[in-house]
Amino acid sequence: MANKKKQDSAEQKTGAVSGYIKGAGQIVEEQIPLTLEKNYMPYAVSVNVSRSFPEIDGFKPSHRKLLYTMYKMGLLQGGRTKSANVVGRTMQLNPHGDAAIYETMVRLARGNETLLHPYVDSKGNFGKAYSRDMAYAASRYTEVKLEPICAELFKDIDKETVQFVPNYDNTMQEPTLLPATFPSVLVNANVGIGVAMASAVCSFNLSEICETTIALIRNPDFNALETLKGPDFAGGALMVYDEAELENVYKTGRGSLKFRAKWSYDKSNNCIDVTEIPPTATIEAIIEKIVSLVKLGKIKEVSYIRDLTDRNGLHIAIDLKRGTDPEKLMQKLFRSTPLQDTYACNFNILIDGYPKVMGVYEIINEWVRFRMGCVKRRTEFDLKKKKGRLHLLQGLEKILLDIDKAVSIVRNTENEVDVVPNLMIGFGIDEQQAEYVAEIKLRHLNREYILNRTKDISTLTEEIADLEDVLGSDRRVRNIIVDELKEVSKKYGQPRKTQFVYVEGEENADEEAESVPDYPCRMFLTESGYFKKITPQSLRMSSVQKLKEGDEVALEFDSANSAELLFFTDKATVYKSRASAFDDTKASSLGEYVPAKLSFGEGESLFSLVATTDYKGYLLFVFENGKVAKVPLSAYETKTNRKMLTSAYSDKSKLVSICFTEENSYLLMKSSNGRMLIFSTALMLPKTSRSTIGVAAMTLKAKSVVERAYIIDEETAKKYSKYIVKSIPSAGPFAKDIEDPDQMTL
């Protein structure tokens, strides 16, 4: 018993409690969905709501905390202060470290040139948004203050226009939103990556946004395309105008908009000067891509490229070889480099704490609803103040009736604490009014002073009535918002930086047709996967093909250098290339190894090759199980320059043969048990899906499979007419009179 007491005493001293770690070390089974819901979901929600996405005022929490700190530091007026000072003060609201805070400041700064309307007036090196390698200076070297437009973000913030909450350690208050007097969420670009979702809001011209918002307030059915021409970025560039895609973005909040660089041709130096680039591109990425294409031999017109960017702005110089057409070269560069890039719009914004993808129309409507709340709260604040002031003046007015009586009451009151009660009794006023009267200096207890104060009563009464009318009329609140938008547009509006370029038919044009010479050639494909492209002149010189030991020619056909080649593999994949991408060879060379040139996947082997110049005709996929799929060759045509297409054919059964036919012809099939049939491909309907399993063509007995299949000409089909069937599926007769169908004329 004594030992037990000693043990209990020791546990109390060390803080250990018997049974507190009960079950420690045990492995408890728990379902993965429950674990994700309990642990990962709260984290995901916190990231999306508290860090990644902008709210209706246009800011993420990190932006809002930084700007509000600068506002409280008085940086809206006066001179600049060191950035390190601002970063340190911001940590009272944002505990995520000085580096993250300073990076946020850099993006908001005028010197970085990210925002269309910067919020931070900067001095020093803040890097550049269009350069990946141009680093910004440390915070101890740079200086900042707020831009004048920030006055519109904090206007009337001290009039309870927005809600305030405690900061992370409950030592001060911070706003949940900023009462911006214009739709800042659409005026400056904002990109965020959350958990399982992302946001990308492009920037629009301030004047156009204000005009569009006013128009939508007055007419909800207004077409925004009439005033909101398109995105406007700080870096300028040119937008490839696509009205249908713009309308889709305005309505849904999703879509891809194309931007291309602004350039000019310097004839004296024979070079192209690029001065503006798409908002998603950087100088380094553009130069690296052009250099890479030059090394690969895909661009032969460029002799040198220089980065001439300096304090005056962005400048890339592309030196051309003699005789180069700059217009054609730029079209090629637009197709193959970031000189033309897309901005993927995804207007995902937090509304009342929930992420929501909205179009421009819905965002503006939500902002108007938010701004109406701000105006009403400001009106209520002003109304409360004026009513309080009126109440005091009404008490003072009663003193005017008998000033001597008020003096007498104060003078004849023995105790100071009784002055206010005695004034309340003497003049029939309440405590608040009596306190106000009692605090008036003796020198002000004269008729002139009191008359000057009380003459504001009628004015206050009218103002109060007007404010109450505003609170009761949404129409008047909207008119106030319209007036504020007009003022903002007049004060801070600026001309568009991003202009438009109209492109008709260029996107559907053949990307390389102009630069690819067209001439006839004969193509060879060996069983091992070697490809040769030989001109007729070279074949006349020597027609004996050099092959690897044990290799044989599998395909041989005439085509053109401009043809597109479709290399089908045994993994249901097709690799697309152009004949012009392969060098002209001679019969005495081995040719180019296709799997290496086109970067086949691991374990992937070449099965067959089809060449085309117009994607007309059909492909017949013959499978081991007796089924045949008829697919239009046009199903493999792509508008973009895609190099690989998956699901090129069905992989449900082993592929035996791929046959190409321009129109209906005869297909011969032979099974492993010696049966053979011939049928017209007109009996089959084409399928638009590349991965179709096809239709049954040959009925197979147990354990037998299709071994071979060919396209044969009409003369050969007549010769073996007894094998022709009128309908499919069919087993076909035994091929007894044909020793080897491979020897038939194809």
What is the pLDDT at residue 603? 85
**DSSP letter at 146?**
E
Average pLDDT over residues 204-232: 96
Average pLDDT over residues 454-479: 92
Residue 385, CA distances (Å) to 380, 388, 390 in order: 9, 5, 9
What is the pLDDT at residue 24? 65
Domains delineated in the chain:
60-177 (3.90.199.10), 262-338 (3.30.1360.40), 374-492 (1.10.268.10), 516-613 (no CATH), 615-629+655-746 (no CATH)
Judge contact between 622 and 695, C-beta under 8 A. no
What is the pLDDT at residue 23? 64
Residues 6 or more apart whose Cβ sits within 8 Å of residue 4: none
- pLDDT-derived band of residue 447, with 50, 70 and 90 as boundaries? confident
pLDDT in tens, 232-285: 999 999 999 999 999 999 999 999 999 999 999 999 999 999 999 999 999 999
Residue 493: is it exposed, middle or buried by C-beta count within 10 angstroms (0-12/13-18/19+)?
middle
- pLDDT-derived band of residue 543, with 50, 70 and 90 as boundaries? confident
Judge contact between 211 and 227, C-beta under 8 A. yes
- pLDDT-derived band of residue 737, with 50, 70 and 90 as boundaries? low
Report d(CA 363, CA 249) in Å as an integer. Answer: 12
The one-letter amino acid code at 466 reads D
pLDDT in tens, 4-47: 554 555 444 444 444 556 666 677 787 888 887 788 888 888 88
Average pLDDT over residues 160-172: 94
* Radius of gyration in angstroms for the set of CA atoms belonging to the chain, rounded to a whole number: 40
Q: Tell me: cis bond preceding 729? Omega within 30 of 0 counts.
A: yes
Report d(CA 36, CA 726) in Å as an integer. Answer: 61
Tokens 């152009």 belong to 578
What is the pLDDT at residue 20? 57
- Whole-prediction pTM value? 0.68
What is the pLDDT at residue 602? 84
- pLDDT-derived band of residue 49, with 50, 70 and 90 as boundaries? confident
Q: Pick the catalytic residue: 43, 141, 168, 304?
A: 141
Closest CA to 275 of 289, 265, 285, 290: 265
Report d(CA 40, CA 37) in Å as an integer. Answer: 6
End-to-end C-alpha distance for the chain, whole angstroms: 105
Report d(CA 278, CA 280) in Å as an integer. Answer: 5
- pLDDT-derived band of residue 212, with 50, 70 and 90 as boundaries? very high
What is the pLDDT at residue 22? 65
436 is catalytic: no
pLDDT in tens, 493-536: 999 999 999 986 554 444 444 556 778 999 999 998 999 999 88
Triad 349, 116, 341: Cα angle to 5°: 80
What is the pLDDT at residue 500? 94
Question: How many other C-beta atoms can be found within 10 angstroms of the C-beta atom of residue 218?
Answer: 11
Q: Which of 58-67, 374-383, 520-529, 638-647 has the lowest mean pLDDT?
A: 638-647
Q: Which of 43-52, 202-211, 383-392, 613-622 has the lowest mean pLDDT?
A: 43-52
